[in-house]
Amino acid sequence: MVRIKVILVDDHQLITDSFERLLKDIEDIELVEAIPDLAELLTRLNQIYPNVILINLYNYSDIELPVLKIISDRFPKIKILINNLSDYQLPLADLMKAGVYGILNKDSNRQQLLEAIYSLRGGYDYFNNAISDTLLKNLVSDKNFQNPMNKQKNDILTKRELEILKLFSEGQSNRKIAAGLFISVKTVESHKNNMMQKLKIKSSVDLVKYAIRNNLTRV
C-alpha cells in the first residue's frame, strides 16, 4: 500500500500529539513529522518528500507567502493545506498564487481533514467551509479575477454537472453531495474536474465564481 505522507507545521506539542492520534489509525495516511515553522520545513524538504504539508495557522500575521511560493515552486508535486485556526478571513487569491489549494477552518472536523488530504493527494482543491459569503463576493468582484467566464454558455455542462455545481457552490462537501445524489465521492470529483476542463478554469473557487456569475446559485 502506498501511503499518503503528511508533514505537520506546528510548534505546539499538545497539538502535534493530537494530530498524531487523529491520523494514526488511518492505514493509507502517515504523519511523517511535525516541524515547528516554515523556515525549518524548507531545510527538511531536502531530506523528506511528503505528499501533503498541513500548516496550522493561528494568526493572520503568520502567513509567509514568499516561503509558501518557494515551496510550491521547488516542489510542485507537494500539496499545501492551510488549517486556519484564526477568526481572520484569509487572502485566498494571494494564497492560491503562492501555491495553496487547500484550506480548512477552525470548525472543521476529523472527517473534513481526511477529505482534504485525500482531495489534495488526488489532484483536487479543497475549500470546504473555508470561504465565507463575504469573501466569495469579494473574489467575484476582484479585478484580478475578472474574466469572460460569465459569457460562457451553461449548456456545455450536463444536467448532472449543473446539479453538482449548484450544491458545491452552496458550500456542500464532496462527501455530502455524493450522499445526497447516491453517487461516489470519486464520481463527484470527476464531475468537478470535467467542469473545470470544459470551462477552462483551474480551481474549485473559480467554479463557485462561475456559478455566481451565471446565477446558478445565490451568495
Q: Could you tell me the residue ranges of all domains in the chain?
A: 4-129, 136-213
Can you tell me which residue has the cell 455545481? 165
Dihedral sign for Cα atoms in the order 176, 83, 124, 195:
positive
Distance CA 180, CA 156 (A): 24
With CA atoms as reference, report the closest residue to 203 among 86, 133, 124, 116. Answer: 124
Helix intervals (H) in 29-146? 38-44, 65-74, 92-97, 110-121, 133-141
Tell which wins on pLDDT, 119 or 142: 119
pLDDT at 78: 93
Tell me the C-alpha distance between 97 and 92, whole Å.
Answer: 9
4-129 and 136-213 in the same fold? yes
What CA–CA distance (Å, rounded) separates 84 from 43? 24
Query: Is residue 129 very low, low, confident or very high in pLDDT (cuts 50, 70, 90)?
Result: low
State pLDDT tens for residues 35-70: 999 889 988 898 888 999 999 998 877 778 899 999
Checking if the pLDDT of 130 tops 70, the result is no
Query: How would CATH label the architecture of 4-129?
Result: 3-Layer(aba) Sandwich (3.40)
Name the CATH topology of 136-213. Rossmann fold (3.40.50)
CA 215/CA 219 separation, integer angstroms: 10
pLDDT of amino acid 172: 78
d(CA 148, CA 40): 42
- pLDDT tens digits, one per residue of 132-150: 554 555 555 554 444 444 4
171 sits in the region (left: phi over 0; alpha: psi -120 to 50; else beta) called left
Top pLDDT among 154 and 36 is at 36
Residue carrying C-alpha cell 469572460: 148
Note the pLDDT tens digit of each residue in 84-115: 888 777 777 778 778 888 888 888 888 889 98
pLDDT of residue 147: 47
Q: Vertex 150, ends 169 and 103: CA angle to 5°?
A: 35
Tell me 45's DSSP state: T
Give the model confidence (pLDDT) of 165-191 as tens digits: 988 877 777 888 999 999 998 999 899
User: What is the 8-class DSSP label of residue 88?
Assistant: S
- β-sheet bridge partners, residue 145: none
Model-wide pTM > 0.75: no
Considering the chain, what percentage of its residues have pLDDT values greater than 70? 85
Confidence at residue 149, expressed as pLDDT on a 0 to 100 scale: 45
Tell me what pLDDT residue 91 has. Answer: 75
Count CB atoms within 10 A of the CB of residue 119.
25
Distance, in Å, from the CA atom of 30 to the CA atom of 113, rounded to the nearest integer, reads 13
